[in-house]
Chain A
Amino acid sequence: MRSPPIVSRTTLLALLAMGAAACSDASSDPGLNAMFRLSGTGVQYVPGSLGSEPAAEAPTALLPNVSSNMVFPGASDRPISGAGMGSTAVLIGLDGDVGHWIAPTGIRDSDVEGAFDYQARFSISPLMPLDPPNRTIILRAVDAQGQVGPARLFPIKVIPPPSPLMVPLDGQPLVVTLQWDTEADLDLKVRVPNTANPDAPIDVWTKHRSALPTLGPSDPPYSDDDAKDVGTLDYDSNSNCVLDGLRQEDVVFTQAAPSPKAAPSGTYEVRVDAASLCGQVTARWHAYAIAADGTVRGEAYGQALDVDTQGSHGPTSGTLAFRFMVP
């Protein structure tokens, strides 16, 4: 007669146990909102910041092996490895981040007795702020009993992403930039005054990337010295829909007047050409020209649609974003 309550109690206990187990289950969150991301065999994301508060003396994490502690927003697929003493996993996260990662240790370290190694790869979110530049990667080893060891801190420095020209864009005499938001193939086209022949301005674009007059059929090619340091389109992003994630193109003049390779005086025209939307419905763009002192010489926003991809994609095609003068 008493069995039903016992069954109910058993069921209740089972449900409670299942609930408790569910509370400790792993998260399916891919962790893309985290500034610091880890990938590799068995790596698991855990929502919640990893603190560096004092804990048990053991297990301890060793300093990680990283190719460089200089990282930029969007840095991808950087190797990271390390070991934990008597540990089964190492918790890794960035200070103040929204989550951290579990990197299981499996291989016994060949050099350090009692240490177990992990190997993974890390990425930095493209949304990582540049300020503050000095950040810290926190590592804490965990043993089989779930005991979390003390925090090991590894400093990193966040720097601006490199330009394909391998020069910083800030502070250059003249930089014309096009940025957009979807994985479409947009092209920046800048019409540059031609001081030698004002009637034949120079169109700098993906098929003519240097601000040098186009050569005739019988003209000899420019020398390397001639081509060096002139205004140049740095990269054709997402060219032919080969995605590079940059979604930015710049025409950069690195030389200032009175250098003959400085941006010539006159009127510049900036166009945005939608070569292909690469399957996207639209691409919203922002184009601007900035001088060395930070003065914005011109700026425009726009949105490319499928209709913008029609027609030719020559040097003068595309939407006129703005014009500006260089004195």
Chain B
Amino acid sequence: MFADNASSHGFAGGLARRQYRGVIRVVRRGCLLAVAVWLAAGAPAAAEEAKPAPVEGPLPPAPAEPAEPAAKAADVEALRAEMKALHEASDAQKAALDEVSAVLSTEREQRAEEVISLQDKADKARLAAEQSLRFTGYVQADGNLWTQASHDELNQSNGALINDTRFLIRRARLKASIDREWAAGLLEFDGNTVNGATARLIGAEASAKVASDPGEPSVLMLTLGLFKIPFGFEVLQSDRDRLFMERSTAERALFPGEFDVGARLAGAWRFARYAIAVQNGEPVGEKATWPGRDPNAAKDVTGRVGVETPISDTFWIAAGVSALSGKGFHPGTPSTKTTVQWNDANQDGVVGPGEIRGVPGMAATPSKNFIRFGYGADLRLGLTTPGLGSTVLYGEIFVAQDLDRGILPADPYGALSRDLRELGGYVALTQDLGPHFAAGVRYDVYDPDRDSADPARPLVPTSFSYQTLAAVVGAALGPVRLTAEYDHNVNHNGRDSSGNPQNLDSDTFIVRGQAAF
């Protein structure tokens, strides 16, 4: 029992073992004492028995028979009495030892029970700590120190600010979670000042799962709520862990906001990982229609299967493939009223005949659904170098159709009257530089319309593609991290003096302070 305890509970088992050894020592010492006493008492008699009589000259004749028995009988009686006394003493000591042993045994059992009780209490406390409500969170405070696209002006069409050189709270997340044997729950809120002070629900999960070891993912977990779309690596990567400021352009286009409402089945078995989700298809960061809601009854089905496994003590690999299938929504237009306009044709500033024109009210147009889908593959390779830290090379590729919901929202029922096929991806390398520093570089590219150069439908501009080269350095001390990133952005959003597309300068330099708890 002690041995079992010792193997599984270090502190309590050690105490029991020490107690056990103490008892053994007491018993051994008692036995040794008894033997010593016995030897000490018996040795003179034996010596006397063995001791030859002094011999002086030739052997005397044998003593007379009657005298010897009387002396020996007295000696025997003395010895017997002595031995009896010794036996009595031994019995008394044995009785004392038995009494001591009984006391010690009782005490030992009591202490064992106390130890077991303490173990139970410790286990319960640990389990309670693991299953109790946990609060975690982090703050990312940004300084957009330099943004090329910023100007001290307003957008004349909608009054929006053009300046983005500013300080802002990019993310302030607070998460409360609970993890029981068969169930789990999560509630996460986000605050930021991107478009003014905002607080919003970003995650809410209610899960039932197959029990797993503490800290280990379950083999099967069913979740209902608001959670990240299970597609690729970057979508699921925590913002607090990512070294780069933001996700890649393609990811922000296809999965804006990352979170969506729905149901998910996910799990892990050894090195295998899987997740499949049925969601509304309107991520919380979507710009086109109704983020967080759903304009159609059709749901998006998304899934990812992958592996995560170490290859050696210093090298690991993770990879996966993902797919999404769903239906987008083309919103109809409302009916309108009759409108009238004045065209000052003769430029005299006076309303003249034929200068008033009207347009009759138009009937509403119906909404429609359209099919959209996407596929992705992700790969990560990690290497740990002693003294330097971790090196991670990773990348992802996206192929999709009519899935853009963030950058150039796709709608096959728009004026183009065709599907938009998207292609994007990125490759990134991050390197730890000792325990406190890290650096990384990432190149990403995204083409929201691979058919834009189709001469059958001449598009202006002929390419809508985006490219970004990001370089980041960071320093961490405990829960605090400071990072700085420079982004070189290439796009086709600018216009030259002739109205032709050209790059719109939009490089940025951002510093971020992060504190996690």
Contacts and interface: CB of A to CB of B under 8 A. Distances in A.
Interface of A: 32-33, 37, 74-77, 123-127, 162, 164-165, 179-183, 185, 209-210, 212, 214-215, 221-224, 226-228, 232-237, 239, 242-247, 269, 271-272, 274-277, 279, 281-282, 284-286, 299-303, 305-313, 316-322
B345 interface: yes
Interface string B349-364: 1001110011111111
Contact of A75 (B162, B360, B458, B464): B360
B346 A221 contact: yes
B464 to A, nearest CB: 7
Contacts of B360: 75-76, 162
Given A37-B363, A309-B155, A181 B499 contact: no
A77 B362 CA distance: 8
Interface string B57-80: 000000000000000000000000
A127 B415 contact: no
A277 B158 contact: yes
Contacts of A227: 345-346
Which has the most chain B C-beta neighbours within 10 Å: A33, A77, A215, A312? A77
A253 B164 CA distance: 45
Contacts of B493: 305, 307-308
Nearest to A183: B333
Given A232-B343, A303-B408, A76 B361 contact: yes
Contact of B335 (A123, A286, A313): A123
B21 interface: no
Contacts of A209: 343-345
B32 interface: no
Contacts of B160: 306
B369 to A, nearest CB: 12
B334 interface: yes
B162 A310 contact: yes
Contact of A179 (B361, B415, B464): B415
A269 to B, nearest CB: 8
Contacts of B312: none
B153 to A, nearest CB: 9
A232 B415 contact: no
Contacts of B464: 303
11 contacts: A76-B361, A165-B357, A183-B333, A221-B348, A223-B346, A244-B337, A306-B155, A307-B504, A319-B501, A320-B500, A321-B460
A245 B415 contact: no
The 5 closest A-B pairs by CB, nearest first: A245-B362, A320-B499, A221-B348, A245-B336, A284-B414
Interface of B: 155-158, 160, 162, 287-288, 332-337, 339, 341, 343-349, 352-354, 357-367, 408-409, 411, 413-416, 457-461, 464, 493, 495, 498-501, 504
A226 B335 contact: no
Contacts of B458: 299-301, 322
B355 to A, nearest CB: 9
Contact of B357 (A124, A234, A301): A234
Nearest to B501: A319
A271 B504 contact: no
Contacts of A126: 362-363, 365
Contacts of B162: 310
Nearest to A246: B359
B409 A281 contact: yes
Contacts of A281: 287-288, 409
Contacts of A239: 341
A257 to B, nearest CB: 22
Contacts of A165: 357
Given A181-B411, A242-B339, 12 more contacts: A32-B366, A33-B366, A76-B336, A76-B360, A185-B157, A223-B346, A235-B357, A244-B339, A281-B287, A307-B493, A320-B498, A320-B500
A221 B498 CA distance: 31
A246 B362 contact: yes
A164 B359 CA distance: 6
A183 B333 CA distance: 7
A123 B363 contact: yes
Contact of B347 (A222, A234, A303, A311): A222
Contacts of A222: 345-348
B460 A320 contact: yes
B178 to A, nearest CB: 38
Contacts of A210: 343, 345, 347
A33 B366 CA distance: 6
A288 B283 CA distance: 36
A205 B341 CA distance: 14
A239 to B, nearest CB: 7
A136 to B, nearest CB: 19
Nearest to B405: A281
A233 to B, nearest CB: 8
Contacts of A234: 357
Contacts of A162: 360
Nearest to A37: B363
Contacts of B457: 301
A11 to B, nearest CB: 30
Nearest to B155: A310
A306 to B, nearest CB: 8
A250 B461 CA distance: 22
Nearest to A248: B359
A277 B347 CA distance: 29
Highest count of chain A CB atoms <10 Å: which of B162, B365, B498, B504: B365
